Amino acid sequence: MSSERTMSFSSNGTAVSVRGLNKSFTIAHQAKKHSTLTEAILDRVRHPFRRDERETFHALKDLSFDVKQGEVVGIIGRNGAGKSTLLKILSRITGPTSGEIDLYGRVGSLLEVGTGFHPELTGRENIFLNGAILGMSRAEIRKQFDAIVDFSGVEKFLDTPVKRYSSGMYVRLAFAVAAHLESEIMVVDEVLAVGDAEFQRKCMGKIKDVATGGRTVLFVSHNLASVTSLCSSCLVLKEGALAFVGAAAEGAQFYTDSAARWAREDRRDLRLCRASWAAPLIQSARVLGADETEQACLPAGTPLTIEMTFETPVDQPLRQPVMGAVFHRSGFGTVCGVNTRMTGFDDATGSQTAGTMRCTLRRPPFLPGHYTVDLWLGDGPGDSDVLYGYLSFELEDADVYDTGRAPFRDMGVIFLDPEWDFQSRSSGTLPPEKKPQTSSRQSHHLPILP
Amino acid sequence: MTTTSIPPAIAEPFTKIRPHSGWAALNLPEAWKFRDLLFALAARDLKLRYKQTALGVVWVIAQPLMAAAIFSFVFGKVARLSSDGVPYLLFSFAGLLGWNLFSATVTKCSGCLVGNSQLISKVFFPRLILPLSTIPSVLVDFAVAAAMMALLMAIHGVAPGWGILLMPVWMAVLLMLALGIGLGAAALAVPYRDVQYIVPVFMQILLYASPIAYAISAVPEHLRSVYLCNPLSAPLEAFRASLLHTAWPGWESLAVAAGFSAVVFLAGLYAFKRMERQFADVI
């Protein structure tokens, strides 16, 4: 198994040692969950001898790994794989259920910016408060104060309550405090890199400084590109267990290869996604990439196919099968919907009792992010079967314009293919033109990559 | 499962994370390391109190002064209770001074975890810092109100005796009891939010069940032994006696109350530490 490999050691000495780490949560069943003391007491009085039925959820299962000093470790995994729980245990926000962790150095955790910021307090007051909350002593904050203010660029507003800050200023100040935490071991969640594209670049640059400055960093990311560019090694988590330990590039490859398989393995029950009135006609559905294989993760702007198969009782054929797909982007809402009637398509006319229908988008204009798809199967003007949110896929950053510059990830949901036009109206003689730099591909970067 | 072989570590780990168990979790040296946070949080509470309030510090004096005036009217003028020979306003203000120290600590402590849930789920620090950080601001309020008390005493020409030197002792007894209750309530409030509604009701009842607006001597003789079961009775009465030469409660009842407060304090601390490990998961 790939996980038998050891991590690449950049220097001697262990920074983090994890042995047999388990974390489980007890979930009381919904009907017996008490949120008020009165309820809990009354229930105890009514049923003095009943034991609550509880279910144990294992968030982390028997993790063991070591991180060497100075190593930058990426932690990747799908939502719910246990990444955040691992970070919370390493930063001691919550305790393990069993297992041992030894940390050889002070741990600083950057899981969220602006924790403990108070809107009524001024920027200056918040720097001291937030610094203390993150574990800095007053002396340390004083020492770093100028650097923090400088990095945030809000020196003019230091004595203004932060509630009057723009959201950008707020985030910049918050990140600045967090970024100046000096500890031997840093635990970082990538969602930390926030704000506008320019500041994100600055954030990622700072994270990179931290990473290359000899400190040990554990870095949770959802972006494989930043893992491969920042990290020396990586851990892949799957349902709370370690699925891979090794070099960053191999880990990213392992994750890409496995993601579609995992998505298939734990694909949700068709019935759960089906609208209550719908007939169970859709038998299966999947997302295919450019190479016609099933994918959970695709580069933005590359061909994407939604495929579904249906089957009807022999005596109730669909007289005119219609396929529809509605795309939703997580955190943004519905993006767009298409169906064969609307866009015009008549290859599937005539009565059908079974078939496979496909919808291919040659260049889907969706920005990188997580998407879910609702599937519709209709019979002429009527709806027959619907699956809400049954399919999902992840679009990754990609050089969609072939310019080395990616579209702004969080500016809306789609990217456009504009045609620009320029007609010069300058007159007279102009100063000699500077030779434009054409072959500087290296200096162009995707906005969120350092 | 993965087991990576590593050379044995040379240095002792800086931090060891193990599953918690009982008292082992009461890590006082660690809490000391975070003392700067305690003061930063206390400073936050104080600053917030005086920001965007028109009267600010005036409230700290006005609230007990108005309560004392009402008590003087109801108990002194209407019910005509004895105040051991001191002006009734002074008498009830002294009672409220001790009471507010107690009740403010209980109230602030019991709400401190739920009120800072954002911090608990996102950052590590010894959770004990949160309830402890409420004490400095309670003490500042106490100092302001005590200055008012001194002014009132000067106006009425009442001088404290040597008993005033024992004031810190009664304050310590009251604070221990308050912290014990506050810590327990704070921990319980994490899974059970209605604790926040029970505490004010409980405090309201306790306000009238304790010798604040009246003296223990006003309680009928045959009920007095029951009355002294209230652990607040003896220290509050002693607190007032230290300032105003009013009647002292018996030494035995004081000793019992002090012992009881210590037990409540330790029990509250234990309950808090026992439940601490769940805070981040449940809150």
Domain count within chain A: 2
Section B68-87 average pLDDT? 85
Q: Do the domain assignments include residue A410?
A: no
Q: Which of A233, A261, A289 is the last residue of a domain?
A: A261
CATH of the domain at A331: 2.70.50.60
In a domain, A40, yes or no: no
Mean pLDDT of B29-36: 83
Residue B33, min C-alpha distance to chain A (Å)? 9
- Axis crossing angle, helix B134-155 with helix B88-115, rounded to the nearest 10: 170
Pick the more confident residue, A174 or B19.
Answer: A174
pLDDT (tens digit per residue) in B142-164: 998 999 999 999 998 888 878 88
Residue B57 has pLDDT above 80, yes or no: no
Query: Which residues, other chains included, contact A369 with Cβ-Cβ below 8 Å and sequence gap of 6+?
Result: A329, A330, A331, A332, A394, A395, A409, A413
Tens of pLDDT, residue by residue over A144-178, are 999 999 988 888 999 999 889 887 788 888 888 88
- Do both A9 and A105 map to the same domain? yes
Q: Do strands A382-396 and A297-299 pair parallel, antiparallel, or not at all (unpaired)?
A: parallel
Q: Are residues A275 and A250 in the same domain?
A: no
Q: How many CA within 13 A on the CB side of residue B219?
A: 20
Q: Are residues A274 and A188 in the same domain?
A: no
Question: Across-strand partners of B35?
Answer: none
pLDDT at position A29: 53
Q: What is the model's pLDDT at position B139?
A: 93
Chain B's closest residue to A66, CA to CA, is B4
Question: Which residue type, as a one-letter code, is found at position A438?
Answer: T
Among B46, B116, B123, B197, pick the best mutation site for testing chain A contact (most A Cβ within 10 A): B123
User: What kind and span of H or E run contains A13?
Assistant: none
Do the Cβ atoms of B16 and A64 come within 8 Å? no
* Residues from chain A contacting residue B118 (CB–CB below 8 Å): 115-116
pLDDT score for A280? 86
Contact in structure between B68 and B96 (CB atoms under 8 Å): yes
**Per-residue model confidence as pLDDT tens digits over B102-138:** 999 999 999 999 888 888 888 888 889 999 999 998 9
The residue-averaged pLDDT of B257-275 equals: 91
Q: Of A241, A261, A281, which marks where a domain is finished? A: A261
Q: Which among B7, B14, B36 is the nearest to A104, CB-wise?
A: B14
Give the one of A91, A105, A241 whose C-beta lies nearest to B14's C-beta. A105
Q: Are A161 and A121 in contact (CB under 8 A)?
A: yes
- Among the candidates A221, A243, A261, a domain finishes at A261
- Tell me, yes or no, whether A62 and A208 share the same domain: yes
**Residue A449: per-residue pLDDT:** 38
Per-residue exposure over A332-354, b if at least 16 CB sit within 10 Å of its own CB, e if not: eeebeebbbeeeeeeeeeeebee
CB contact under 8 A, B192 and A36: yes
- Are B53 and B59 within 8 A, CB to CB? yes
Is the residue at A148 inside a domain?
yes
CB contact under 8 A, A93 and B280: yes
Give the pLDDT band (50/70/90) at residue B176: very high
**Structural domain boundaries, residue A108:** 2-31+52-261
Question: CA-to-CA distance for A378 and A337, rounded, in angstroms?
Answer: 14
In percent, how much of chain B has pLDDT > 90? 37
CA dist., res. B31 & res. B130, Å (int): 11
Residue in B with minimal Cα distance to A9: B6
Averaged over B210-219, what is the pLDDT?
86
Question: Which residues make Cβ contacts (< 8 Å) with residue A49, sequence separation at least 6?
Answer: none
Specify the range with the lowest mean pLDDT, choosing from A11-15, A181-185, B4-8, B23-27. Answer: B4-8
Closest Cα to residue B102, out of B242, B234, B266, B270? B234
Taking an 8 Å cut-off on Cβ atoms, the answer to whether A64 and B10 are in contact is: no
Return the residue of B nearest to A94 by Cα: B280
Sheet holding A233-238: strands in order across? Answer: A107-110, A185-189, A216-220, A72-77, A233-238, A241-247
Contacts of A103 in chain B (CB under 8 A): 13-17
What is the domain-level CATH number for residue A219?
3.40.50.300
- Whether A309 is covered by a domain: the verdict is yes
**B9/A102 CB distance under 8 A:** yes
Give the minimum alpha-carbon distance from B20 to chain A in angstroms, rounded to a whole number.
7
* Contact (CB<8Å) A66/B6: yes
Q: What is the largest CA-CA distance in chain B?
A: 83
**Contact yes or no for A175/A113 (Cβ under 8 A):** yes
Question: What is the C-alpha to C-alpha distance for residues B213 and B207, in angstroms, rounded to an integer?
Answer: 9
Classify residue A435: in a domain, yes or no. Answer: no
Based on the fold, state whether residues A301 and A381 are members of the same structural domain. yes
Q: Which residues of B touch A90 (CB under 8 A)?
A: 17
pLDDT band at B22 (very low <50, low <70, confident <90, very high): very low
Task: Say yes or no: A88 and A158 in one domain.
Answer: yes
Domain match, A215 and A312 both: no
Quote ipTM for the complex.
0.81
Residues A176 and A276 in one domain: no
pLDDT for res B76: 84
Out of B16, B124, B194, closest to residue A36 by CB:
B194
Who's near A266: CB < 8 A, 6+ residues apart? Answer: none
CB A159 within 8 A of CB A168: no
B281–A96 C-beta distance less than 8 A: no
pLDDT of residue A302: 92
Q: How far apart are CA A297 and CA B271, in angstroms?
A: 48
Angle between helices B88-115 and B57-71 (to 10 degrees): 130
Q: Both A257 and A276 in a single domain? A: no
What would the pLDDT profile of A47-73 be if each residue is shown by its tens digit? 766 655 666 788 899 999 999 888 889
Closest chain B residue to the Cα of A132, Cα to Cα: B37
A209 is a domain residue = yes
Q: Indicate yes or no: CB of B17 within 8 angstroms of CB of A106.
A: no
Tell me, yes or no, whether A434 lies in a domain: no
Strand, coil or helix: A4: helix
Q: Strand, helix or coil at B126?
A: coil
User: What's the pLDDT at B3?
Assistant: 39
Q: A40-55 burial string, b = 16+ CB within 10 Å, else e?
A: beeeeeeeeeeeeeee
Calculate how close chain A gets to B145, using CA atoms only, in Å: 26
Answer whether B48 sits within 8 Å of A120, measured CB to CB.
yes
Report chain A residues whose CB lies below 8 A from the CB of B187.
none
Same domain, yes or no, for A173 and A243? yes
Q: Each residue's pLDDT tens digit in chain A (450 positions)?
A: 333 333 333 345 888 999 999 998 876 554 455 667 777 777 777 776 665 566 678 889 999 999 988 888 999 887 778 888 898 888 888 888 888 898 888 888 777 777 788 888 899 999 999 999 888 888 999 999 999 999 888 889 999 998 898 877 888 888 888 888 888 888 887 665 555 667 777 777 777 777 777 788 888 877 777 788 888 899 999 888 998 999 988 888 888 778 777 766 666 667 777 777 788 889 889 899 988 888 888 889 999 999 999 998 888 888 888 999 999 987 778 899 999 888 888 776 788 889 999 999 999 999 988 898 999 998 888 888 988 888 888 888 888 888 877 788 778 889 999 999 998 888 766 666 555 444 444 434 344 433
Flag whether A436 is in a domain. Answer: no
Residues A226 and A102 in one domain: yes
Both A59 and A167 in one domain: the answer is: yes
Give the global pTM.
0.69
Q: How many CB pairs under 8 A join A and B?
A: 151
Chosen for mutation from B119, B122, B190, B279 (greatest number of chain A CBs closer than 10 Å) is B122
